[in-house]
Structure 1
Protein backbone atom coordinates (compact mmCIF):
# COMPACT_ATOMS: atom_id res chain seq x y z
CA UNK A 1 0.00 0.00 0.00
CA UNK A 2 2.80 2.39 0.79
CA UNK A 3 4.18 1.76 -2.74
CA UNK A 4 0.99 2.86 -4.48
CA UNK A 5 0.20 5.88 -2.34
CA UNK A 6 2.85 8.17 -3.91
CA UNK A 7 1.56 7.34 -7.40
CA UNK A 8 -1.98 8.24 -6.44
CA UNK A 9 -0.70 11.39 -4.78
CA UNK A 10 1.23 12.63 -7.81
CA UNK A 11 -1.71 11.70 -10.08
CA UNK A 12 -4.06 13.80 -7.96
CA UNK A 13 -1.58 16.67 -7.91
CA UNK A 14 -1.20 16.64 -11.69
CA UNK A 15 -4.98 16.50 -12.15
CA UNK A 16 -5.42 19.39 -9.73
CA UNK A 17 -2.71 21.42 -11.46
CA UNK A 18 -4.31 20.84 -14.88
CA UNK A 19 -7.64 22.06 -13.55
CA UNK A 20 -6.20 25.14 -11.87
CA UNK A 21 -4.31 26.13 -15.04
CA UNK A 22 -7.48 25.82 -17.13
CA UNK A 23 -6.29 23.19 -19.61
CA UNK A 24 -9.49 21.08 -19.35
CA UNK A 25 -11.43 24.23 -20.28
CA UNK A 26 -9.42 24.55 -23.50
CA UNK A 27 -10.15 20.93 -24.43
CA UNK A 28 -13.85 21.27 -23.63
CA UNK A 29 -14.18 24.57 -25.50
CA UNK A 30 -12.47 23.11 -28.59
CA UNK A 31 -14.79 20.10 -28.38
CA UNK A 32 -17.94 22.23 -28.19
CA UNK A 33 -16.98 24.37 -31.19
CA UNK A 34 -16.02 21.22 -33.10
CA UNK A 35 -19.37 19.62 -32.31
CA UNK A 36 -21.10 22.77 -33.54
CA UNK A 37 -19.42 22.32 -36.93
CA UNK A 38 -16.26 24.42 -36.87
CA UNK A 39 -12.82 23.18 -37.81
CA UNK A 40 -10.90 23.53 -34.54
CA UNK A 41 -7.26 23.49 -33.48
CA UNK A 42 -5.43 24.06 -30.20
CA UNK A 43 -2.00 25.36 -29.31
CA UNK A 44 -1.33 27.24 -32.54
CA UNK A 45 0.77 30.39 -32.59
CA UNK A 46 0.18 33.68 -34.35
CA UNK A 47 2.98 35.95 -35.57
CA UNK A 48 2.98 39.48 -36.86
CA UNK A 49 5.19 41.23 -39.38
CA UNK A 50 6.98 43.27 -36.69
CA UNK A 51 9.00 40.27 -35.55
CA UNK A 52 7.66 40.32 -31.99
CA UNK A 53 7.28 37.13 -29.97
CA UNK A 54 4.59 34.77 -31.27
CA UNK A 55 1.32 34.57 -29.34
CA UNK A 56 -0.12 31.21 -28.32
CA UNK A 57 -3.77 30.62 -29.23
CA UNK A 58 -5.82 28.44 -26.89
CA UNK A 59 -8.45 27.48 -29.47
CA UNK A 60 -9.06 28.47 -33.07
CA UNK A 61 -12.44 27.65 -34.65
CA UNK A 62 -12.76 28.34 -38.38
CA UNK A 63 -15.34 28.04 -41.12
CA UNK A 64 -14.30 28.20 -44.78
CA UNK A 65 -15.89 28.36 -48.22
CA UNK A 66 -13.92 28.13 -51.48
CA UNK A 67 -15.20 29.48 -54.80
CA UNK A 68 -13.20 29.85 -58.05
CA UNK A 69 -9.86 29.63 -56.20
CA UNK A 70 -10.94 32.32 -53.72
CA UNK A 71 -11.11 31.47 -50.04
CA UNK A 72 -13.77 32.99 -47.75
CA UNK A 73 -13.14 32.35 -44.07
CA UNK A 74 -14.43 33.31 -40.63
CA UNK A 75 -12.01 32.63 -37.78
CA UNK A 76 -12.91 32.63 -34.08
CA UNK A 77 -9.84 33.12 -31.89
CA UNK A 78 -10.57 31.93 -28.37
CA UNK A 79 -8.79 32.59 -25.08
CA UNK A 80 -9.86 30.33 -22.19
CA UNK A 81 -9.75 31.42 -18.54
CA UNK A 82 -10.49 29.26 -15.50
CA UNK A 83 -11.76 31.58 -12.78
CA UNK A 84 -14.26 29.63 -10.69
CA UNK A 85 -13.43 31.27 -7.38
CA UNK A 86 -12.94 34.78 -8.76
CA UNK A 87 -15.81 36.06 -10.92
CA UNK A 88 -15.14 38.49 -13.75
CA UNK A 89 -16.73 41.92 -13.36
CA UNK A 90 -17.21 43.69 -16.69
CA UNK A 91 -17.70 47.46 -16.62
CA UNK A 92 -20.45 48.68 -18.95
CA UNK A 93 -21.74 52.08 -20.05
CA UNK A 94 -24.26 53.49 -22.54
CA UNK A 95 -21.56 55.97 -23.54
CA UNK A 96 -19.68 53.16 -25.30
CA UNK A 97 -22.51 52.11 -27.60
CA UNK A 98 -21.63 52.41 -31.30
CA UNK A 99 -23.72 51.99 -34.45
CA UNK A 100 -24.14 48.36 -35.53
CA UNK A 101 -22.75 49.38 -38.92
CA UNK A 102 -19.61 50.77 -37.25
CA UNK A 103 -19.25 47.57 -35.23
CA UNK A 104 -19.28 45.64 -38.51
CA UNK A 105 -17.04 48.04 -40.46
CA UNK A 106 -14.36 47.95 -37.75
CA UNK A 107 -14.24 44.16 -37.61
CA UNK A 108 -10.78 42.59 -37.68
CA UNK A 109 -9.96 41.25 -41.12
CA UNK A 110 -7.27 40.89 -43.72
CA UNK A 111 -7.19 43.44 -46.56
CA UNK A 112 -9.96 41.82 -48.57
CA UNK A 113 -12.09 40.90 -45.56
CA UNK A 114 -11.94 44.46 -44.22
CA UNK A 115 -12.96 45.91 -47.59
CA UNK A 116 -15.75 43.38 -47.98
CA UNK A 117 -17.37 44.01 -44.58
CA UNK A 118 -16.92 47.79 -44.94
CA UNK A 119 -18.93 47.75 -48.16
CA UNK A 120 -21.78 45.77 -46.56
CA UNK A 121 -21.80 47.19 -43.02
CA UNK A 122 -25.08 49.09 -43.35
CA UNK A 123 -27.14 46.27 -44.85
CA UNK A 124 -30.03 44.94 -42.81
CA UNK A 125 -28.68 41.39 -43.03
CA UNK A 126 -25.33 42.35 -41.53
CA UNK A 127 -26.77 44.66 -38.87
CA UNK A 128 -29.21 41.96 -37.72
CA UNK A 129 -26.44 39.50 -36.89
CA UNK A 130 -25.26 39.10 -33.30
CA UNK A 131 -21.76 39.14 -34.80
CA UNK A 132 -22.07 42.87 -35.46
CA UNK A 133 -24.48 44.20 -32.83
CA UNK A 134 -23.45 46.82 -30.32
CA UNK A 135 -25.33 46.38 -27.02
CA UNK A 136 -27.12 49.31 -25.40
CA UNK A 137 -24.51 49.11 -22.64
CA UNK A 138 -21.31 47.60 -24.03
CA UNK A 139 -18.40 46.61 -21.85
CA UNK A 140 -15.31 48.83 -22.01
CA UNK A 141 -13.15 47.23 -19.30
CA UNK A 142 -13.23 44.90 -16.35
CA UNK A 143 -11.45 43.11 -13.52
CA UNK A 144 -11.21 39.68 -11.99
CA UNK A 145 -12.98 40.10 -8.63
CA UNK A 146 -11.20 39.46 -5.32
CA UNK A 147 -7.79 39.73 -6.95
CA UNK A 148 -4.95 42.19 -6.80
CA UNK A 149 -1.78 42.63 -8.80
CA UNK A 150 -1.92 41.01 -12.24
CA UNK A 151 -4.96 42.13 -14.21
CA UNK A 152 -6.31 38.92 -15.78
CA UNK A 153 -9.04 40.79 -17.67
CA UNK A 154 -6.60 43.17 -19.37
CA UNK A 155 -4.08 40.42 -20.12
CA UNK A 156 -6.72 38.17 -21.69
CA UNK A 157 -8.29 40.95 -23.78
CA UNK A 158 -4.90 42.12 -25.00
CA UNK A 159 -3.75 38.58 -25.83
CA UNK A 160 -6.83 37.50 -27.77
CA UNK A 161 -7.08 40.84 -29.60
CA UNK A 162 -3.40 40.66 -30.57
CA UNK A 163 -3.78 37.10 -31.82
CA UNK A 164 -6.82 38.08 -33.90
CA UNK A 165 -4.92 40.94 -35.54
CA UNK A 166 -1.94 38.65 -36.19
CA UNK A 167 -4.13 36.05 -37.88
CA UNK A 168 -5.70 38.70 -40.10
CA UNK A 169 -2.22 39.91 -41.03
CA UNK A 170 -1.03 36.37 -41.71
CA UNK A 171 -3.90 35.95 -44.16
CA UNK A 172 -2.54 38.85 -46.21
CA UNK A 173 0.91 37.41 -46.68
CA UNK A 174 0.67 33.88 -48.10
CA UNK A 175 -1.97 34.49 -50.73
CA UNK A 176 -1.15 35.75 -54.18
CA UNK A 177 -3.61 37.88 -56.08
CA UNK A 178 -6.01 36.63 -58.73
CA UNK A 179 -8.06 38.93 -60.94
CA UNK A 180 -6.37 41.80 -59.10
CA UNK A 181 -7.68 40.69 -55.68
CA UNK A 182 -6.12 38.79 -52.76
CA UNK A 183 -7.30 35.18 -52.96
CA UNK A 184 -8.23 35.17 -49.26
CA UNK A 185 -11.15 37.11 -47.77
CA UNK A 186 -10.94 36.64 -44.00
CA UNK A 187 -12.66 38.07 -40.91
CA UNK A 188 -11.46 37.27 -37.39
CA UNK A 189 -13.56 37.35 -34.21
CA UNK A 190 -11.90 37.31 -30.77
CA UNK A 191 -13.65 35.49 -27.90
CA UNK A 192 -12.83 34.87 -24.24
CA UNK A 193 -14.43 31.83 -22.58
CA UNK A 194 -14.52 31.99 -18.78
CA UNK A 195 -15.27 29.07 -16.52
CA UNK A 196 -16.72 31.03 -13.64
CA UNK A 197 -19.40 33.62 -13.07
CA UNK A 198 -19.64 36.81 -15.13
CA UNK A 199 -21.07 40.08 -13.88
CA UNK A 200 -21.71 43.47 -15.46
CA UNK A 201 -21.36 46.61 -13.37
CA UNK A 202 -22.17 50.21 -14.20
CA UNK A 203 -24.07 53.32 -13.23
CA UNK A 204 -27.86 53.16 -12.98
CA UNK A 205 -30.10 55.32 -15.20
CA UNK A 206 -30.53 58.01 -12.57
CA UNK A 207 -26.76 58.24 -12.19
CA UNK A 208 -27.04 57.95 -8.42
CA UNK A 209 -25.73 54.46 -7.77
CA UNK A 210 -23.95 51.50 -9.33
CA UNK A 211 -25.59 48.22 -10.28
CA UNK A 212 -24.25 44.67 -10.52
CA UNK A 213 -25.98 41.96 -12.55
CA UNK A 214 -25.00 38.41 -13.44
CA UNK A 215 -24.82 37.62 -17.17
CA UNK A 216 -23.89 34.65 -19.36
CA UNK A 217 -22.02 36.76 -21.91
CA UNK A 218 -20.97 40.33 -22.54
CA UNK A 219 -19.68 42.25 -25.55
CA UNK A 220 -16.63 44.46 -25.30
CA UNK A 221 -15.72 47.46 -27.47
CA UNK A 222 -12.08 47.91 -26.52
CA UNK A 223 -9.79 50.81 -27.42
CA UNK A 224 -6.62 49.57 -25.69
CA UNK A 225 -5.12 47.60 -28.57
CA UNK A 226 -1.53 48.38 -29.45
CA UNK A 227 -2.09 46.78 -32.86
CA UNK A 228 -4.97 48.88 -34.25
CA UNK A 229 -6.62 52.27 -33.71
CA UNK A 230 -10.22 51.14 -34.29
CA UNK A 231 -12.55 49.55 -31.79
CA UNK A 232 -11.76 45.91 -31.15
CA UNK A 233 -15.04 44.08 -30.54
CA UNK A 234 -14.91 40.79 -28.64
CA UNK A 235 -17.22 38.54 -26.67
CA UNK A 236 -16.71 37.22 -23.14
CA UNK A 237 -18.78 34.07 -22.62
CA UNK A 238 -19.50 31.90 -19.59
CA UNK A 239 -18.61 28.30 -20.43
CA UNK A 240 -22.04 27.13 -19.24
CA UNK A 241 -23.51 29.02 -22.22
CA UNK A 242 -20.95 27.81 -24.76
CA UNK A 243 -23.13 25.25 -26.58
CA UNK A 244 -25.78 27.83 -27.47
CA UNK A 245 -23.14 30.42 -28.30
CA UNK A 246 -21.15 28.08 -30.59
CA UNK A 247 -24.29 26.91 -32.40
CA UNK A 248 -25.45 30.48 -33.04
CA UNK A 249 -21.95 31.55 -34.07
CA UNK A 250 -21.75 28.72 -36.63
CA UNK A 251 -25.10 29.72 -38.17
CA UNK A 252 -24.06 33.35 -38.46
CA UNK A 253 -20.56 32.61 -39.78
CA UNK A 254 -22.07 30.33 -42.42
CA UNK A 255 -24.55 33.04 -43.42
CA UNK A 256 -21.79 35.66 -43.46
CA UNK A 257 -19.57 33.61 -45.79
CA UNK A 258 -22.49 33.06 -48.15
CA UNK A 259 -23.13 36.82 -48.27
CA UNK A 260 -19.42 37.54 -48.84
CA UNK A 261 -19.26 35.02 -51.66
CA UNK A 262 -22.29 36.65 -53.28
CA UNK A 263 -20.66 40.09 -53.02
CA UNK A 264 -17.35 38.88 -54.46
CA UNK A 265 -18.19 39.39 -58.20
CA UNK A 266 -18.59 43.13 -57.56
CA UNK A 267 -15.04 43.29 -56.24
CA UNK A 268 -13.77 41.28 -59.23
CA UNK A 269 -15.34 43.89 -61.53
CA UNK A 270 -13.85 46.69 -59.43
CA UNK A 271 -10.35 45.16 -59.49
CA UNK A 272 -10.62 44.68 -63.24
CA UNK A 273 -11.83 48.18 -64.05
CA UNK A 274 -10.60 50.42 -61.24
CA UNK A 275 -14.12 51.83 -60.97
CA UNK A 276 -15.22 51.72 -57.30
CA UNK A 277 -18.84 52.31 -58.35
CA UNK A 278 -19.02 48.64 -59.34
CA UNK A 279 -19.13 47.86 -55.60
CA UNK A 280 -22.51 48.78 -54.19
CA UNK A 281 -22.28 50.35 -50.73
CA UNK A 282 -24.92 49.74 -48.09
CA UNK A 283 -24.40 53.03 -46.25
CA UNK A 284 -24.35 53.39 -42.49
CA UNK A 285 -21.87 54.95 -40.11
CA UNK A 286 -18.46 53.28 -40.16
CA UNK A 287 -16.42 55.36 -37.72
CA UNK A 288 -13.58 55.21 -40.27
CA UNK A 289 -11.99 57.90 -42.41
CA UNK A 290 -12.60 56.94 -46.01
CA UNK A 291 -12.54 53.56 -47.73
CA UNK A 292 -10.30 50.69 -46.56
CA UNK A 293 -6.70 50.28 -47.83
CA UNK A 294 -7.45 47.63 -50.47
CA UNK A 295 -9.96 49.83 -52.27
CA UNK A 296 -7.62 52.83 -52.19
CA UNK A 297 -4.82 50.62 -53.52
CA UNK A 298 -6.89 49.39 -56.47
CA UNK A 299 -7.99 52.93 -57.41
CA UNK A 300 -4.42 54.23 -57.11
CA UNK A 301 -3.14 51.50 -59.46
CA UNK A 302 -5.44 52.72 -62.22
CA UNK A 303 -4.60 56.39 -61.64
CA UNK A 304 -0.86 55.88 -62.04
Structure 2
Protein backbone atom coordinates (compact mmCIF):
# COMPACT_ATOMS: atom_id res chain seq x y z
CA UNK A 1 0.00 0.00 0.00
CA UNK A 2 1.04 3.59 -0.61
CA UNK A 3 0.77 4.46 3.10
CA UNK A 4 3.14 1.63 3.98
CA UNK A 5 5.65 2.78 1.39
CA UNK A 6 5.54 6.37 2.63
CA UNK A 7 5.89 5.20 6.25
CA UNK A 8 8.89 3.07 5.31
CA UNK A 9 10.46 6.05 3.53
CA UNK A 10 9.82 8.34 6.50
CA UNK A 11 11.51 5.92 8.89
CA UNK A 12 14.69 6.23 6.81
CA UNK A 13 14.73 10.01 7.08
CA UNK A 14 15.47 12.30 10.01
CA UNK A 15 11.87 13.44 10.42
CA UNK A 16 10.89 10.94 13.17
CA UNK A 17 13.92 12.01 15.23
CA UNK A 18 13.03 15.69 14.80
CA UNK A 19 9.46 14.95 15.90
CA UNK A 20 10.72 13.06 18.95
CA UNK A 21 13.03 15.92 19.95
CA UNK A 22 10.27 18.47 19.45
CA UNK A 23 7.86 16.44 21.59
CA UNK A 24 10.40 16.06 24.41
CA UNK A 25 10.99 19.81 24.65
CA UNK A 26 7.29 20.56 24.27
CA UNK A 27 6.51 18.26 27.20
CA UNK A 28 9.21 20.03 29.24
CA UNK A 29 7.36 23.34 28.82
CA UNK A 30 9.05 24.98 25.84
CA UNK A 31 7.44 26.67 22.89
CA UNK A 32 8.67 24.56 19.98
CA UNK A 33 9.01 25.29 16.29
CA UNK A 34 10.06 22.70 13.77
CA UNK A 35 11.81 23.68 10.55
CA UNK A 36 12.20 27.21 11.92
CA UNK A 37 14.43 29.67 10.08
CA UNK A 38 17.12 32.14 11.12
CA UNK A 39 19.37 34.65 9.41
CA UNK A 40 22.81 33.16 8.81
CA UNK A 41 25.19 35.82 10.24
CA UNK A 42 27.87 34.82 7.73
CA UNK A 43 25.97 34.57 4.44
CA UNK A 44 23.03 36.78 5.50
CA UNK A 45 20.70 34.18 3.99
CA UNK A 46 17.86 32.33 5.61
CA UNK A 47 18.70 28.91 7.01
CA UNK A 48 16.59 26.19 8.59
CA UNK A 49 16.76 24.83 12.13
CA UNK A 50 15.55 21.27 12.73
CA UNK A 51 13.98 22.13 16.08
CA UNK A 52 13.90 25.45 17.92
CA UNK A 53 12.81 25.28 21.57
CA UNK A 54 12.09 28.65 23.18
CA UNK A 55 11.43 29.23 26.86
CA UNK A 56 8.07 31.07 27.06
CA UNK A 57 8.45 34.75 27.92
CA UNK A 58 5.64 37.31 27.82
CA UNK A 59 7.90 40.27 28.62
CA UNK A 60 10.50 39.78 25.89
CA UNK A 61 13.64 40.81 27.79
CA UNK A 62 15.11 37.44 28.72
CA UNK A 63 15.24 35.40 25.53
CA UNK A 64 16.27 31.74 25.97
CA UNK A 65 16.50 29.29 23.06
CA UNK A 66 17.80 25.79 22.48
CA UNK A 67 18.82 25.12 18.89
CA UNK A 68 18.52 21.41 18.16
CA UNK A 69 20.16 19.69 15.22
CA UNK A 70 18.94 16.11 14.75
CA UNK A 71 21.26 13.56 13.15
CA UNK A 72 19.68 10.25 12.26
CA UNK A 73 22.22 7.64 11.17
CA UNK A 74 23.19 3.99 11.31
CA UNK A 75 26.71 4.88 12.50
CA UNK A 76 27.80 5.73 16.06
CA UNK A 77 29.19 9.05 17.26
CA UNK A 78 32.31 9.91 19.24
CA UNK A 79 33.14 12.89 21.48
CA UNK A 80 36.89 13.23 22.07
CA UNK A 81 37.73 14.26 25.63
CA UNK A 82 40.77 15.23 27.68
CA UNK A 83 41.54 16.45 31.18
CA UNK A 84 42.46 19.94 29.97
CA UNK A 85 39.99 20.53 27.12
CA UNK A 86 38.44 23.52 28.91
CA UNK A 87 41.56 24.68 30.70
CA UNK A 88 41.97 28.48 30.49
CA UNK A 89 38.83 28.80 28.33
CA UNK A 90 36.49 31.58 29.45
CA UNK A 91 33.59 29.95 31.27
CA UNK A 92 31.09 32.55 30.05
CA UNK A 93 32.08 31.77 26.46
CA UNK A 94 31.81 28.03 27.12
CA UNK A 95 28.35 28.48 28.66
CA UNK A 96 26.49 29.41 25.47
CA UNK A 97 25.99 32.08 22.82
CA UNK A 98 24.73 35.32 24.32
CA UNK A 99 23.88 38.89 23.43
CA UNK A 100 26.20 41.60 24.71
CA UNK A 101 23.70 42.60 27.40
CA UNK A 102 23.39 38.99 28.59
CA UNK A 103 27.13 38.51 28.75
CA UNK A 104 27.48 41.75 30.71
CA UNK A 105 24.74 40.67 33.12
CA UNK A 106 26.43 37.31 33.69
CA UNK A 107 29.80 38.94 34.24
CA UNK A 108 28.41 41.35 36.79
CA UNK A 109 26.41 38.56 38.40
CA UNK A 110 29.51 36.45 38.96
CA UNK A 111 30.93 39.22 41.16
CA UNK A 112 27.85 39.45 43.38
CA UNK A 113 27.00 35.75 43.20
CA UNK A 114 24.55 33.76 41.11
CA UNK A 115 23.12 31.24 43.59
CA UNK A 116 21.00 29.26 41.12
CA UNK A 117 22.90 29.79 37.88
CA UNK A 118 26.40 29.59 39.35
CA UNK A 119 26.72 25.78 39.17
CA UNK A 120 25.92 25.90 35.46
CA UNK A 121 28.74 28.34 34.85
CA UNK A 122 31.32 26.49 36.91
CA UNK A 123 33.03 23.91 34.72
CA UNK A 124 35.84 21.45 35.31
CA UNK A 125 38.82 21.59 32.97
CA UNK A 126 37.95 18.10 31.74
CA UNK A 127 35.65 18.04 28.73
CA UNK A 128 35.24 17.41 25.05
CA UNK A 129 37.30 19.02 22.32
CA UNK A 130 36.00 17.25 19.20
CA UNK A 131 33.03 15.39 17.75
CA UNK A 132 32.92 12.92 14.87
CA UNK A 133 30.72 10.29 13.35
CA UNK A 134 32.56 6.98 13.49
CA UNK A 135 33.36 5.18 10.23
CA UNK A 136 32.08 8.09 8.14
CA UNK A 137 34.96 8.21 5.64
CA UNK A 138 35.76 11.62 4.21
CA UNK A 139 32.39 13.14 5.04
CA UNK A 140 31.99 14.99 8.31
CA UNK A 141 28.31 15.19 9.30
CA UNK A 142 29.38 16.01 12.87
CA UNK A 143 31.02 19.24 11.70
CA UNK A 144 28.01 20.14 9.56
CA UNK A 145 25.72 19.71 12.56
CA UNK A 146 28.05 21.68 14.83
CA UNK A 147 28.51 24.64 12.50
CA UNK A 148 24.80 24.72 11.71
CA UNK A 149 23.80 24.78 15.37
CA UNK A 150 26.41 27.39 16.27
CA UNK A 151 25.44 29.70 13.40
CA UNK A 152 21.79 29.43 14.35
CA UNK A 153 22.57 30.30 17.97
CA UNK A 154 24.57 33.34 16.88
CA UNK A 155 21.80 34.44 14.55
CA UNK A 156 19.26 34.20 17.38
CA UNK A 157 21.37 35.90 20.05
CA UNK A 158 22.73 38.82 18.02
CA UNK A 159 21.54 42.25 19.05
CA UNK A 160 19.16 43.78 16.54
CA UNK A 161 19.09 47.43 15.51
CA UNK A 162 16.26 49.36 17.12
CA UNK A 163 15.50 46.72 19.75
CA UNK A 164 15.77 47.34 23.46
CA UNK A 165 18.53 45.48 25.23
CA UNK A 166 17.84 41.75 25.29
CA UNK A 167 19.29 39.22 27.67
CA UNK A 168 19.49 36.61 24.91
CA UNK A 169 20.84 33.09 25.44
CA UNK A 170 21.09 30.40 22.76
CA UNK A 171 22.36 26.89 23.42
CA UNK A 172 23.35 24.48 20.62
CA UNK A 173 22.28 20.85 20.96
CA UNK A 174 22.83 17.83 18.71
CA UNK A 175 20.48 14.86 19.12
CA UNK A 176 21.55 11.44 17.78
CA UNK A 177 19.68 8.14 17.51
CA UNK A 178 22.67 5.79 17.47
CA UNK A 179 25.24 4.97 20.19
CA UNK A 180 27.39 7.78 21.57
CA UNK A 181 30.89 7.27 22.99
CA UNK A 182 33.48 9.40 24.74
CA UNK A 183 37.05 8.72 23.67
CA UNK A 184 40.05 9.58 25.82
CA UNK A 185 43.73 8.69 25.77
CA UNK A 186 44.91 6.81 28.84
CA UNK A 187 48.29 7.32 30.49
CA UNK A 188 49.67 4.22 28.77
CA UNK A 189 48.75 5.66 25.37
CA UNK A 190 45.79 3.36 24.75
CA UNK A 191 42.46 4.79 23.63
CA UNK A 192 39.50 4.24 25.93
CA UNK A 193 35.92 4.32 24.62
CA UNK A 194 33.11 4.81 27.11
CA UNK A 195 29.43 4.57 26.09
CA UNK A 196 27.45 7.61 27.28
CA UNK A 197 23.95 8.99 26.83
CA UNK A 198 25.00 12.64 26.84
CA UNK A 199 28.20 14.59 26.42
CA UNK A 200 29.45 17.99 25.31
CA UNK A 201 32.40 19.42 23.47
CA UNK A 202 33.96 22.81 22.89
CA UNK A 203 33.48 24.05 19.34
CA UNK A 204 34.55 27.35 17.82
CA UNK A 205 34.85 28.96 14.41
CA UNK A 206 35.07 32.38 12.72
CA UNK A 207 31.84 33.72 11.17
CA UNK A 208 33.59 36.13 10.59
CA UNK A 209 34.64 36.96 14.16
CA UNK A 210 35.59 34.19 16.58
CA UNK A 211 32.64 32.52 18.26
CA UNK A 212 32.46 29.34 20.27
CA UNK A 213 30.85 27.50 23.16
CA UNK A 214 30.16 24.01 24.41
CA UNK A 215 27.74 22.01 22.28
CA UNK A 216 25.64 19.37 24.01
CA UNK A 217 25.22 15.95 22.38
CA UNK A 218 22.29 13.84 23.54
CA UNK A 219 21.03 10.38 22.63
CA UNK A 220 17.33 9.62 22.28
CA UNK A 221 17.52 7.57 25.49
CA UNK A 222 18.45 10.74 27.41
CA UNK A 223 16.33 13.17 25.41
CA UNK A 224 13.37 13.65 27.74
CA UNK A 225 15.61 14.01 30.78
CA UNK A 226 17.79 16.52 28.95
CA UNK A 227 14.76 18.59 27.95
CA UNK A 228 13.79 18.82 31.63
CA UNK A 229 17.36 19.81 32.49
CA UNK A 230 17.20 22.50 29.80
CA UNK A 231 14.03 23.85 31.39
CA UNK A 232 15.74 23.92 34.79
CA UNK A 233 18.60 25.91 33.24
CA UNK A 234 16.13 28.38 31.73
CA UNK A 235 14.44 28.79 35.11
CA UNK A 236 17.82 29.40 36.76
CA UNK A 237 18.65 32.15 34.27
CA UNK A 238 15.34 33.88 34.88
CA UNK A 239 15.61 33.58 38.65
CA UNK A 240 19.10 35.02 38.94
CA UNK A 241 18.66 37.79 36.36
CA UNK A 242 15.39 39.26 37.63
CA UNK A 243 17.08 42.49 38.73
CA UNK A 244 18.68 43.00 35.31
CA UNK A 245 15.34 42.38 33.63
CA UNK A 246 13.67 45.02 35.80
CA UNK A 247 16.47 47.51 35.08
CA UNK A 248 16.05 47.06 31.33
CA UNK A 249 12.31 47.59 31.58
CA UNK A 250 12.97 50.80 33.54
CA UNK A 251 15.43 51.95 30.89
CA UNK A 252 18.41 51.78 33.22
CA UNK A 253 20.44 49.51 30.89
TM-score (norm 2): 0.88
1:120 counterpart = 2:109: yes
The offset of 1:99, in angstroms, is 6.5
Deviation at 1:149, TM superposition (A): 2.4
Q: SS at the partner of 1:95? A: coil
| Alignment of 1:185 onto 2:173 | no
The answer to whether the 8 A contact 1:91-1:142 is kept is yes
Per-residue deviation, 1:207: 4.4
Q: Point out 4+ residue stretches in structure 1 off by more than 4 angstroms.
A: 265-269
Count how many residue pairs are aligned between Structure 1 and Structure 2.
250
Shift in Å, 1:223: 2.4
Instruction: Verify: 1:80 aligned to 2:70, yes or no.
Output: yes
Unaligned runs of 5+ in 1: 1-7, 273-297, 299-304
Go from structure 1 to structure 2 and tell me whether the alpha carbon gap of 1:49 and 1:199 turns closer, same or farther (over 3 Å shift).
Answer: closer
Q: 2:227 aligns with which of 231, 246, 255?
A: 246
The partner residue of 1:71 within 40, 61, 75 is 61
RMSD: 2.5
Give 2:184's aligned residue: 202
> Deviations 1:33-83 (Å, cap 9, x if unpaired)?
00110111111111045553322101111114345xx52121101001112
What's 1:104 paired with?
92
| 1:32 counterpart = 2:24 | yes
How far the C-alpha of 1:118 sits from its partner, in A, is 2.6
Task: Confirm or deny that 1:235 pairs with 2:223.
Answer: no
Equivalent residues of 2:78, 2:181 under 8 A apart: yes
Secondary structure of the corresponding residue to residue 210 of structure 2: coil
Matches within 5 A, 1:127-276: 127-129=118-120, 132-169=121-158, 172-173=159-160, 176-177=163-164, 182=165, 184-204=166-186, 206-265=187-246, 272=252
Q: Distance in 1 between matches of 2:13 and 2:200?
A: 25
User: 2-side partners of 1:228 and 1:239: how far apart?
Assistant: 33
Structure 2 CA distance for aligned equivalents of residues 225 and 239 of structure 1: 30
Deviation (angstroms), 1:112: 1.8
For the Cα contact (< 8 Å) 2:205–2:211, is it kept in 1?
no
Distance 2:11 2:162 in 1: 40
Taking structure 1 as the reference length, the TM-score comes to 0.74
Rg larger in structure: 1
Q: Shift of residue 221 of structure 1? A: 0.9
More deviation, 17-26/150-159: 17-26
| Structure 2: 5+ residue stretches without partners | none
Matched residues in 2 for 1:196 and 1:40: separation? 24
1:55 and 2:69 aligned: no
Match of 2:135, SS? coil
Which of the two has greater helix per residue? Answer: 1
2:207 match: secondary structure: coil
